Structure 1
Amino acid sequence: METQAYPKWQLALDSAAIALFALFGALLIYSGITSFAVTSQNSEFLAAKILLMVLAAWLSADFVSGLVHFLADNFGNPDTPFFGKVFIYAFREHHVDPKAITRHSFIETNGANCLVSLPPMIYIWVATSPTHDYLLRLYFVLFFLSIFLTNQIHKWSHMDSPPRLVGALQSAHVILPVAHHAVHHAAPHDKYYCITCGWLNAPLERLHFFQAIRKLLK
């Protein structure tokens, strides 16, 4: 596959997406902080519920990362309108040159995930209540942040010398470990698609989940 330059229009789009993601993320986090006192008075076992939301959001992001990765690897092509340039090309290039992602800027690495998160993020901000829907909002804030981190985590898994804290989190399998992700990069690249933490890769592989989806869609 011929390597394509990062176009200026995509740089502008990704930059705007990251800025808007940061804005609405900050608004949601601020509303959560200011609503915490009211919510804590009206909700039993709030600490346990918050921990459950953290786990649910992390696992949800891992699953979504795998599903998107699977679809981009197996359907469409880099010439598919809009999605080809913004999403599919990056995944296909990655198999040809796995280290290419380590040369991408912060904006190029994380812009697409911010872009795809914006519509549901704005909807959650507009359509839900900071107090009555506190746990729902918390779940989605954590989910969006996990999605935002996913491609950065993926990038770290290909770096020869990631930051020390990142290396510790990889070793503890809190985030995607290097050796774990290497399973996906063994030809024919048809397993272990989840790239946030990779916790769901083994269970989904045992269930033949992505193989079933491929048969269904093809």
Structure 2
Amino acid sequence: MPAIPFFKDATPREIRLMRFFVAANGAVVVFCAVYLVRHYFDVGLRRPWLMLALLAGYFVADFVSGAVHWGMETWFDERMLGRAVSIAREHHTHPSHVLLYGFLERSSFGSAPSAMVFGPIAVATSLLPVTALTYASMMVWFVVCLCMLFGMHFHNLAHRPARFAILRLAQRLHLVCPPAHHWIHHRQQTIHYCVVNGWANYPCDRLQLWRALERLISALTGAEPRADDLAWQIEFRQTGILTAPRRKGSEAEPVADTQPARYAGRLAAGGMP
């Protein structure tokens, strides 16, 4: 196994984007926290309702992590999202490599969609009259954005034995996604997308939510789910190199500036999980 992951090197533009989205999502977290502290005594929400709102936020955060994961693996490719998709694909061919990326990569994966979606929602919520409902809603947005800031960190806990007893206990209680639960996704990559605690996987997979959304999107747009990923996996098996799928009438395109030639041989020795 190589000492560093295959897409460790980021361009200056990619670093700036990662920093921007992590900072933006951090700002949303702070904005929600200030609102919650400021209006805590105004609302007077009882402790059981506060706990219910926190648990709801933790469930929604897990669902959002699954939606991001599903969207990334089902509809996007390197030409759309570049290095982010490359890292996601490497994570399936070499699962342990995901542990070797830095804070920016881990935090920007969830921070980008979180800031773009829940930032405007949090602002809109703050403009409404302060009630128990708006306060509970803001608590949900706070928990979601905080979990998405550390979404890949939750995910990485499911890729290795936890070092601390408190984390091992949290995994046994399913408060944090346990490795055995997440590894189902690595054996069958179209289920168990949710990675914060895994709670949302049970209703999503039982109701076949992701397949229903795929059928709906395909009917509306004509796009085929995982078509690019299937072509990419065939390309990987044939060449042993992480490349973008072949386009009609063109040669396979290497992922620009992210696949150093010195790693090609090591990739060939890898293989699908």
**Deviations, residues 18-73 of structure 1 (Å, cap 9, x unaligned):** 23322332232123112111111xx5xx3232222112211112222222212222
In 2: Cα distance, 1:27 partner to 1:202 partner: 32
| Equivalent position to 1:23, from 27, 32, 56 | 27
Q: 1:124 to 1:76 in 2, by over 3 A?
A: closer
In structure 2, the residue matched to 1:35 is 39
For 2:143, the aligned partner's letter is L
**Deviations, residues 155-182 of structure 1 (Å, cap 9, x unaligned):** 1111344444322211211010001111
For 2:208, the aligned partner's letter is H
For 2:204, the aligned partner's letter is L
Determine whether 1:148 maps to 2:152. Answer: no
In structure 1, the residue matched to 2:206 is 206
In 2: Cα distance, 1:119 partner to 1:211 partner: 25
In structure 2, the residue matched to 1:95 is 92
SS, match of residue 78 in structure 2? coil
Between Structure 1 and Structure 2, whose CA radius of gyration is higher? 2
In structure 1, the residue matched to 2:159 is 158
| Contact kept in structure 2, 1:63 and 1:194, CA below 8 Å | yes
SS, match of residue 79 in structure 1? helix
In structure 1, the residue matched to 2:229 is none
1:15 is displaced (CA, Å) by: 1.9
For 1:89, the aligned partner's letter is S
Q: 1:24 to 1:201 in 2, by over 3 A?
A: closer
Alignment of 1:128-147 (within 5 A): 128-129=126-127, 131-132=130-131, 133-147=134-148
1:195 is displaced (CA, Å) by: 0.9
In structure 2, the residue matched to 1:104 is 101
| Contact kept in structure 1, 2:18 and 2:104, CA below 8 Å | yes
In structure 1, the residue matched to 2:244 is none
Any unmatched runs of 5+ in structure 2?
219-223, 225-273
In structure 2, the residue matched to 1:85 is 83
**Deviations, residues 69-123 of structure 1 (Å, cap 9, x unaligned):** 122222231222xx2433x323212101111111011111111312222234432
Q: TM-score, normalised by structure 2?
A: 0.68
In 1: Cα distance, 2:197 partner to 2:116 partner: 24
Q: 1:37 to 1:202 in 2, by over 3 A?
A: closer
In 1: Cα distance, 2:62 partner to 2:86 partner: 21
1:124 is displaced (CA, Å) by: 4.0
In 2: Cα distance, 1:140 partner to 1:117 partner: 9
In 2: Cα distance, 1:58 partner to 1:185 partner: 23
For 1:17, the aligned partner's letter is F
Q: 1:27 to 1:67 in 2, by over 3 A?
A: closer
In 2: Cα distance, 1:176 partner to 1:51 partner: 20
Q: 1:50 to 1:207 in 2, by over 3 A?
A: same
